[in-house]
Chain A
Amino acid sequence: MTASIISSIAFYVLQPFFGFIVGALFYWVFRKIRARLQARRGPPWYQTFADVTKLLFKESITPLIADKTIFYLAPLLAFTGYLVALLQLPIGNVYPPLAGDLIVILIFLTLPGVAIILGGSSSGSPYGAIGSSRETALLVASEIPFAISALVTGIQVKSMSIIKIVDAQNQFGPMAFHYPFATVAFFMCMLLKLGRKPFDIPDAEVEIIAGPYTEYSGSLLGLFEISNVLRWFVIPAFAVNLFFAGGLGNLFVFLTLCLVVVALISFLDTQNSRYRIDQAFNFLLTWATLLAVIDLVRASTGWALW
């Protein structure tokens, strides 16, 4: 009894640090592969740690006309969203003590988008307002295929517990094999969740200075950076758990599969240019939703399964 309490507490304390460090290394892998594909060398391995440390110890200036409560709340909200989602995920052979739930993870993964919208609109600058409106449109467009393709796996297993989804894949093979359309739709939405091309409109674009992040500086921006680092672990880990059998119970295989996902995302990021907001909106609502709905129909009616 006490052993399980101690191991639960150890899990909840160590998991965020593990997520942050592995997320920082995955973010470095992304930047290195992107640099190499652009015929240049990339940053050294400690780059993400240096960026985050530098930001946390810089002076933080708040604009006078900003709404202070929401301005300070937004980075905290983004951090909370990724943190709670992180604590629900099984990692290789380590399962969370309280059963991870698919719907809870999906809800908490929308919080960072909401946080960006709140942060951008409360900062009192026109760049923030434009960034927030674009992020709203993209959030609405991407949640539909993201949620549908995630729920497809739950429908197949007839349970919303992510541990049961991983265990079922250990028996019947990875979901990516049975539901390839849902996997592709999930990948497209993953590019948006991570803020990569072709969907990186809110994330620090040159056209509107820095979008919703414009008026943030110092420690608040550092908190946004920490949540941006965490998402590089949470979202590939979520994808591997849902569609690639969670690493078959092996931590090493799990991390290797996450690295393959990160490498694929970096490759797609370098090859594509940025979509305009209406092009991204249309693309996600037509093609990605179509693919996700095909697999939803297949999963719920049991038609044409293989």
Chain B
Amino acid sequence: MNKQTITESIRGFISPKTLPYPRQPSVPPEGFRGKPEFDLQKCVGCGACAQTCPMGAINVTDGLERSIRVWYGKCSFCGRCQDVCPEEAIRLTSAYELAVFDKNKATADVKIEFESCPSCGRKFFPAPQLKKSFEKMEPILEKRNISNEELRSLDRVCPSCREKPEELSKRKLFLVNFG
């Protein structure tokens, strides 16, 4: 009991420093790594986040459509998925109130439809990713004077169908051009 403790106690008596948390929301600082959420418009379904997650909290399940799901029970909120995503579709927001009664409900997911092969009908590639890669190839194709529609009709075919004789002949055109 000395002068410092007495003055600090009286100062604390006059103005308490408690945050009024449950009555008023408490905003975390800038750059806080909270709950990761998907932007459904931007995600192309590449699965890079699932490959880079160190905990294995993001899982890709392929069925009739591709489903990418992040489980907060295993997430360590490190932000590697946000760093590696090419489209900035997964973002760590500032939401932190994640308490749940059933642990399987603490998830966020996104569903991406597949592109079907026109010749065999197999679903082999996520559609938005195919569209995005065509968009990215535009400047290169223009330089080489290859039209985009030609490439698109050839690349929509799945890898096993590309080995068929009728498809191989169409592709020889490009081999000659690159020569």
Contact = CB atoms under 8 A, between A and B. Distances in A.
Interface stretch (A10-18, A19-27, A37-45, A277-285): A37-45
The 9 closest A-B pairs by CB, nearest first: A39-B12, A271-B1, A37-B9, A36-B13, A39-B17, A40-B18, A41-B18, A41-B16, A39-B16
Interface in B127-145: none
Interface string B5-16: 110111111011
Nearest to B9: A37
Give the residue among B5, B9, B15 with the most A Cβ atoms within 10 A. Answer: B9
A270 interface: yes
6 contacts: A35-B16, A36-B13, A37-B9, A37-B12, A39-B18, A271-B1
A41 B17 CA distance: 8
A300 interface: no
Contacts of A37: 9-10, 12-13
A53 interface: no
Contacts of B18: 39-41
Contacts of B10: 37
A35 B15 CA distance: 12
A159 interface: no
B16 A270 contact: no
A267 B5 CA distance: 11
A272 B5 CA distance: 9
A190 B12 CA distance: 26
A144 B63 CA distance: 83
A267 B8 CA distance: 12
Q: Say what secondary structure dominates the interface of chain A.
A: helix
B9 A271 contact: yes
Interface string A230-274: 000000000000000000000000000000000000011011100
B9 A40 contact: no
A36 B1 CA distance: 17
User: Contact size class for B?
Assistant: 10 to 19
Contacts of B13: 36-37, 39
A40 B19 CA distance: 9
B17 A272 contact: no
Contact of B5 (A35, A36, A40, A271): A271
A138 B132 CA distance: 79
A36 B6 contact: no
Interface in B1-42: 1, 5-6, 8-13, 15-18
Nearest to A33: B13
B14 to A, nearest CB: 9
B1 to A, nearest CB: 4
A36 B11 CA distance: 9
B53 to A, nearest CB: 40
Contacts of B1: 268, 271-272
B81 to A, nearest CB: 38
Interface string B105-141: 0000000000000000000000000000000000000
B6 A40 contact: no
Nearest to B8: A39
Contacts of A267: 9
B11 A39 contact: yes
B161 to A, nearest CB: 69
A36 B15 CA distance: 8
A39 B11 CA distance: 8
Nearest to B20: A41
A170 to B, nearest CB: 35
Given A38-B12, A271-B5, A271-B9, 16 more contacts: A36-B12, A37-B9, A37-B13, A38-B9, A39-B8, A39-B13, A39-B16, A39-B17, A39-B18, A40-B18, A41-B16, A268-B1, A270-B9, A271-B1, A271-B6, A272-B1
A39 B5 CA distance: 12
